């Protein structure tokens, strides 16, 4: 199974937020969606951190090349 991209995780989080705003949703379903949303956001944050570290590594390797 293909891993979800950062954009997929954001879209999923937005979808969950829309569902949570439904006044007819049960408390149990709200809690389940809230937990799922937090997990998706955390995974997206992890992807951002990995990308940030990769960019920093690239910049350090090429610091003398640009000048």
User: Where are the domains positioned within the chain?
Assistant: 6-62
pLDDT category at 3 given cuts 50, 70, 90 is low
Predicted confidence (pLDDT) at residue 17 exceeds the cutoff of 80: yes
49-59 pLDDT per residue, tens:
999 999 999 99
Q: How far is CA 39 from CA 15, 34, 57, 64, 66, in A?
A: 14, 9, 27, 40, 39
| Cα 17 from Cα 13, distance rounded (Å) | 6
pLDDT category at 45 given cuts 50, 70, 90 is very high
| Cα 17 from Cα 47, distance rounded (Å) | 20
Q: Tell me the average pLDDT across 39-44.
A: 94
Decide if 19 contacts 36 (C-beta within 8 A).
no
pLDDT category at 18 given cuts 50, 70, 90 is very high
Take residue 32 and report the two structure tokens written for it: 């389940």
């Amino acid at each position: 199974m293909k891993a979800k991209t950062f954009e997929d995780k954001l879209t999923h989080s937005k979808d969950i937020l829309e569902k949570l705003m439904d006044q007819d949703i049960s408390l149990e379903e709200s809690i389940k969606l809230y937990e799922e949303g937090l997990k998706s956001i955390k995974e997206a944050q992890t992807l951002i951190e990995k990308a940030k570290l990769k960019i920093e590594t690239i910049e350090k390797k090429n610091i003398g090349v640009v000048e």
